[in-house]
Structure 1
Amino acid sequence: MTFKTKLLLITILPLVAVSLLIGGATYYQSRELINAQTREVEQRILSAKRQEIRNYVSLALTSIEQIYKEEPNGREAAQQEVKEILQNLTFDYDGYFFVYTLDGTNIVHPKLPHLVGGNWWDLQDDNGDHVIRNLIAAAKDGGGFHQYVWHKPSTGTIEEKLGYAILLDKWDWMLGTGLYTDDIAREVAAIRADFARSIRQTLFVIFMITLAAIIIAGTLIAGVRFSEQRFADSKLKELTNRIFQVQEQERKRVSTELHDSISQLLVSVRYGVELIHSEANREPDLQAQAAKCLKTLDGTIAEVRRISRDLRPSVLDDMGLAAALGSLGKEFQSQSGIIVNVTAEQCHSRLSEGAKTALYRVVQECMTNVARHAHASEVTISLKVGLQHLVLCVEDNGVGLPRPMPKSTGLGFRNMRERIETYGGKLTLSRRAAGGTKIRVQMPLDNLAAKAA
């Protein structure tokens, strides 16, 4: 796991955890509040309905009170008159009064006339409740409420109903009425829906705040990481440039020591051995040994000069980049047998010494790669100098790059690219259409030097 990933996890995970805890606590508290509020609303509506039912019963008792007490024209006539009054006494859409004798026989029911005259003591609703006997029991206890399900006239459906019954003990009648409570369920459902919508909105706000915080945190971390990476890259480039400079200085020093010191000493030794060879005419064995030593010294001197030239070609410092590239091409052709075509324009003082060295080292590395890997028969080196930039191309007709192109290249190519980028240039690696590999370098020139020229 990378440091960037760890930093993101350390920053974002606590934020997500806190948001989840806040969201969970909000949801739980909201659900509790919904339940409490709906219970309160339900109890309030039931209380209002109970009072309303009592008022309707009081109204019914007032309408039949005188007849019930005085029984004009006899009890039977009074009972018939009360039945007619209660039969016609309705309220709202579904409000009515019903009367049962204490044995469960219905004598008044304005909405369900088929019940009149029947004994419904054992009648059960859809929930298995004995409706009539429980209403009669509530009436005998001094009047009371009983909840059950019953046919609703206006809709023809079975709904919850809150019934209330009182006892007309003089006639052994149970007088009752009731109100349907399905509107309570609708109101409670509407309240729950409103609360649920509010909860969803709250949770959505929490989610959006969390998402925004995560995005901001991720952006800040990415920005810090990017700035740190850019800073590290700049420092690394400075270090790489300094390493290259020190390396070139050391190469130049060693090359100078080899050329001016070791090489001169070897030449002096050669003169001495050559003198011995010329004076050893009378000693054939000594003369042969001297000749062998001369041959070895000649090879050693040539090798020292080659090493000195590879470390730091003097032609680069004395005659410039174009001449150095031409010399490099000739030497490579003589050593490898690969044909090298060099076309190089002079850039004079429009390039720094470091930039010239970097370009020379890039070509040197390219030639080494051609000799090792390309299996080429011809190499072309071109250096073109423009008004603002110079373009260096090294092309070969070898086997080319593998397919597919590798995502990461070797250390040599990376060193070449870093050398060029140090001086503001750009290096690209590609396949040639005709086969082989092409390395192209574009590097800016010194405009002040161009104006002076």
Structure 2
Amino acid sequence: MTFKTKLLLITILPLIAVSILIGSVTYYHSRTLIDAQTEAVEKRILASKRQEIRNYVSLALTSIEEIYENQPGGRMVAQDEVMRILRNLTFDYDGYFFAYTLDGTSIVHPKLPHLVGGNWWDLQDDNGDYVIRNLINAAKNGGGFHRYVWHKPSTGTVEEKLGYAILLDKWNWVLGTGLYTDDIAKEVAAIRADFARSIRQTLFVIFLITLAAIIIAGTLIAGVRFSEQRFADTRLKALTNRILQVQEQERKRVSTELHDSISQLLVSVRYGVEMIHSEANQNAELQAQAAKCLTILDGTITEVRRISRDLRPSVLDDMGLAAALGSLGKEFQMQSGITVNVEAERCHTRLSEGAKTALYRVVQECMTNVARHAEADEVSISLSVGPNTLDLCVEDDGIGLPQPLPRGGGLGFRNMRERIETYGGQLSLGRGKTGGTRIEVEMPLDNATAKAA
């Protein structure tokens, strides 16, 4: 697992855990709040319905009070009149009054007239509740409420109902009415649905906040990582540039030592051996040995000069980049037998010494690759100077690049590119017009120096 992945996990996992915890707590408290709110609403509606039922019973009692108390025309006539009044008393769509004797016989039921005259003491609803028996017991206890399920006239279905019954003790009647409570269940369900929708919206907002936090955290981590990587790349390039500078300085020092010291000493030794050779006319063996030493010294001096030139060509410091490239091309042609065409413009002081050295080393690396891998017959080197940039192109007519091309172009290509990028240039690798390898370099020039000149 990479450091970046570990950092992402350390940052994002706590966010996800906290979000899940917040969502769970929010959901739990919301469900608790829903239960409490719906219970309170249900109690409030039931209390309102109880009061409403009491009001209806009071109206019914007011309607029959005079007849019930005075019984004009006798009890039978008064009871008939009261039953007629109760049958005609209705409210809302499903509101009506009913009356039973204490033994459970129905005497008034305007909505279900087939019940009148029957004894329903043992009648049970769908839940097994003894409806009439419990209503009569509630009435005997001073009047009271009882919940049961009963036929709803407007819909023809069985719904929950809140009934209320009182005792008319002079006649041993139970007078009652009730209201259906299915609307309470609908209202409670609507409230629960609203709360559930609010919970879903809250959880969705928490999810969006968490997602945004994760995206922001990931972006920040990626930004920091990218910034650190850029900083590391910058430092690495600076270190590489410094290494190259030190390397070039050391090469220059060693080249100077070889040219000015070792080479001169070898030349002095050669003069001495030449003198021995000229003075050894009488001794053929000594003369032959001296001649052999002269041959070895000539080869050594030539090799020392070659090594000195490879380490740091003096022509690059003395005559500039164009002349150095021309000299490099001639020497490469002599050593390899491959034709080298060089067209180079002078850039004067519009290019730093480090940039010149980098371009020279790139061409040197290209020529080495041509000799080792290209199997070419001809190499073209062109150096052109524009208003703002210097363009270098090295192209051969060899076998070209391997396919598929290694990512980054190989170690040598990466080293060349790093040299060029150190001075703000760009290097590209591709196929030439003849199928060989083509390397192009674009290097910015110092226009301030040109204007001053």
With structure 1 as the length reference, what TM-score do the two structures score?
A: 0.89
Alpha-carbon spacing, 1:279–1:80, altered in 2? closer, same or farther (3 Å) = same
What's the counterpart of residue 418 of structure 1? 418
The offset of 1:313, in angstroms, is 0.8
- Is the counterpart of residue 87 in structure 1 residue 100 in structure 2? no
- SS of 1:340's equivalent? strand
Q: Is the Cα–Cα contact under 8 Å of residues 346 and 385 in structure 1 kept in the other structure?
A: yes
Alpha-carbon spacing, 1:121–1:299, altered in 2? closer, same or farther (3 Å) = farther
What's the counterpart of residue 181 of structure 1? 181
Q: Could you tell me how far apart the structure 1 residues matched to 2:156 and 2:323 are?
A: 110
The offset of 1:248, in angstroms, is 0.9
Q: Could you tell me how far apart the structure 2 residues matched to 1:61 and 1:221 are?
A: 80
What residue identity is the alignment partner of 1:268?
Answer: S
Q: Could you tell me how far apart the structure 2 residues matched to 1:380 and 1:102 are?
A: 126
Alpha-carbon spacing, 1:31–1:292, altered in 2? closer, same or farther (3 Å) = same
Q: Could you give the per-residue CA deviations for residues 263-309 of structure 1, whole angstroms, max 9, x where no partner exists? A: 22223333344444455566555555444443333332222222111
What's the counterpart of residue 443 of structure 1? 443
- Is the counterpart of residue 37 in structure 1 residue 37 in structure 2? yes
- SS of 1:50's equivalent? helix
What's the counterpart of residue 59 of structure 1? 59
Q: Could you give the per-residue CA deviations for residues 108-129 of structure 1, whole angstroms, max 9, x where no partner exists? A: 2212233334444444433343
Q: Could you tell me how far apart the structure 2 residues matched to 1:321 and 1:133 are?
A: 120
Deviates more, 1:201-210 or 1:58-67: 201-210
Q: Is the Cα–Cα contact under 8 Å of residues 408 and 414 in structure 2 kept in the other structure?
A: no
Question: Structure 1: 5+ residue runs without aligned partners?
Answer: none
The offset of 1:83, in angstroms, is 1.7
Q: Is the Cα–Cα contact under 8 Å of residues 98 and 177 in structure 1 kept in the other structure?
A: yes
The offset of 1:249, in angstroms, is 0.9
What residue identity is the alignment partner of 1:267?
Answer: V
What's the counterpart of residue 388 of structure 1? 388
What's the counterpart of residue 361 of structure 2? 361
What's the counterpart of residue 401 of structure 1? 401
The offset of 1:8, in angstroms, is 4.0
The offset of 1:393, in angstroms, is 0.8
Q: Could you tell me how far apart the structure 2 residues matched to 1:179 and 1:405 are?
A: 89
Alpha-carbon spacing, 1:336–1:173, altered in 2? closer, same or farther (3 Å) = farther
Q: Stretches of 4+ moved more than 6 A in 1?
A: none
Q: Is the Cα–Cα contact under 8 Å of residues 263 and 305 in structure 2 kept in the other structure?
A: yes
The offset of 1:78, in angstroms, is 2.9
Alignment of 1:25-424 (within 5 A): 25-279=25-279, 286-424=286-424
- SS of 2:177's equivalent? strand
How many residues align? The count is: 453
Question: Structure 2: 5+ residue runs without aligned partners?
Answer: none
Q: Percent identity?
A: 83
Q: Could you tell me how far apart the structure 2 residues matched to 1:86 and 1:133 are?
A: 21
Deviates more, 1:83-92 or 1:223-232: 223-232
Deviates more, 1:81-90 or 1:272-281: 272-281
Q: Could you tell me how far apart the structure 2 residues matched to 1:333 and 1:129 are?
A: 117
What's the counterpart of residue 430 of structure 2? 430
Deviates more, 1:197-206 or 1:43-52: 197-206
Q: Is the Cα–Cα contact under 8 Å of residues 392 and 442 in structure 1 kept in the other structure?
A: yes
Q: Could you tell me how far apart the structure 2 residues matched to 1:128 and 1:400 are?
A: 98
The offset of 1:54, in angstroms, is 1.9
Alpha-carbon spacing, 1:57–1:390, altered in 2? closer, same or farther (3 Å) = same
Alpha-carbon spacing, 1:364–1:43, altered in 2? closer, same or farther (3 Å) = same
Alpha-carbon spacing, 1:441–1:147, altered in 2? closer, same or farther (3 Å) = same
The offset of 1:53, in angstroms, is 1.3
Q: Could you tell me how far apart the structure 1 residues matched to 2:121 and 2:278 are?
A: 153
What residue identity is the alignment partner of 1:354?
Answer: G
- SS of 1:96's equivalent? strand
Q: Could you tell me how far apart the structure 1 residues matched to 2:26 and 2:118 are?
A: 57
Q: Could you tell me how far apart the structure 2 residues matched to 1:335 and 1:122 are?
A: 126
What's the counterpart of residue 14 of structure 2? 14
Q: Is the Cα–Cα contact under 8 Å of residues 387 and 450 in structure 1 kept in the other structure?
A: no
* RMSD value, Cα: 2.8
What residue identity is the alignment partner of 1:369?
Answer: N
- SS of 1:408's equivalent? helix
The offset of 1:207, in angstroms, is 4.0
